[in-house]
Amino acid sequence: MGLIAASHATPGPADGDADAVESEPDARFTFANERTFLAWTRTALAFVVAGLGVVQLLPPFPGVPWGRHVLGVPLIVIGAVIAVTSYSQWVRSQQALRRGQPLPRSVLPRILAIAITAMAIVSAVVLLVSAVLKPR
Amino acid sequence: MNPDPEESDPGLARERTNMAWTRTAISFAALGAAILKDHLVPGLIVLALGLATWILSRLLPGTFGATGARPRQLLLVTVAVTAVAAVALGVALTART
């Protein structure tokens, strides 16, 4: 059971890379790439769920009528961005695997970190504004 | 005469991938149930997408036979998630402040 199952090697100068020879990568790598895509898909769905939950299930913030939308709408948009990006990431990784090249760096962790940081800051601001404006 | 699972499914990669598909389908269904609370039809559609994801994972080429990339199926899932996000956005924006 060889690690690289180069069954049907096909020369594939897909986009300008004339030296790239493509071959079917080991099934384990293909499966692992697919699982990574699916994990990001679930992350994207979790963002959509969170955004919808904020808008639909939370009681309104006192004094901040737009608070739930400011939190929920970006969460849903981030979910869509992660879904689309994870697919293009899967395509690039699969291509690198086929060509035996190093895997491209993923932008998804950065998107995730920035998104969560930004949402934490926005949440803190909404809560603070609500606490200040709350009718007492 | 037990066949070695390492022979038919090295690293149990196929089984783990099938389970990942199942988790993804469940995530769809959970989102559908959350939407169902206030919006019957969109909720049912997303629930159906969960079922569709599960069926898709069973029908995938390579699930029980030869392996290989399946870009079309993954693109389908991406389109579904993006569509769900668009519906959720519509629901969120039309909700009363």
The CA radius of gyration of chain B, in Å to the nearest whole number, is: 17
Interface test with A, best of B28, B47, B74, B87 (most A CBs within 10 A): B74
B31–A52: do the CB atoms touch at under 8 Å? yes
B69–A30: do the CB atoms touch at under 8 Å? yes
Q: Which residues of A touch B68 (CB under 8 A)?
A: 24, 27, 30
Q: How far is B13 from chain A (nearest CA, A)?
A: 6
| Torsion on CA atoms A34, A40, A43, A48, rounded to nearest 10 | -100
Q: How far is A73 from chain B (nearest CA, A)?
A: 6
CA-based nearest residue to B21, from A129, A87, A39, A133: A39
Neighbouring residues of A84: CB distance < 8 A, sequence distance ≥ 6 = B78, B82
Q: What is the 3-state secondary structure (H, E, C) of B18-84?
A: HHHHHHHHHHHHHHHHHHHCCCHHHHHHHHHHHHHHHHHHHHCCCCCCCCCCCHHHHHHHHHHHHHH
Measured between alpha carbons, how far is residue B29 from residues A88, A92, B47, B85 in Å?
Answer: 24, 29, 5, 14
Measured between alpha carbons, how far is residue B12 from residues A51, A83, A94, B38, B70 in Å?
Answer: 35, 26, 20, 41, 18
CA-based nearest residue to A82, from A108, A103, A104: A108
Cα B70 from chain centroid?
14
Q: Which residues of A touch B93 (CB under 8 A)?
A: 69, 73
Distance between CA atoms of residues B54 and B56, nearest Å: 5
Q: How far is A107 from chain B (nearest CA, A)?
A: 17
pLDDT at A13 (0 to 100): 44
Query: pLDDT tens across B36-91, in order?
Result: 887 888 889 889 989 988 888 887 665 544 456 678 888 988 999 999 899 889 88
Q: What integer is the mean pLDDT of B5-32?
A: 84
CB of A26 within 8 A of CB of A3? Answer: yes
B70–A34: do the CB atoms touch at under 8 Å? yes
Q: Which residues of B touch A94 (CB under 8 A)?
A: 69, 71
pLDDT in tens, chain A (136 residues): 344 444 444 444 444 455 678 888 888 888 899 999 999 999 999 999 999 889 888 899 998 889 999 999 999 999 999 999 999 999 999 999 999 999 999 999 999 999 999 999 999 999 999 999 887 6
What single DSSP character describes residue A107?
Answer: S
Q: Which residues of B touch A76 (CB under 8 A)?
A: 85, 88-89, 92
- φ/ψ region of A63 (left if φ > 0, alpha if ψ in -120 to 50, else beta) reads left
Per-residue pLDDT band at B5 (split at 50, 70, 90): low
**What H or E segment, with its residue span, contains residue A80?**
helix A67-99
pLDDT at B67 (0 to 100): 56
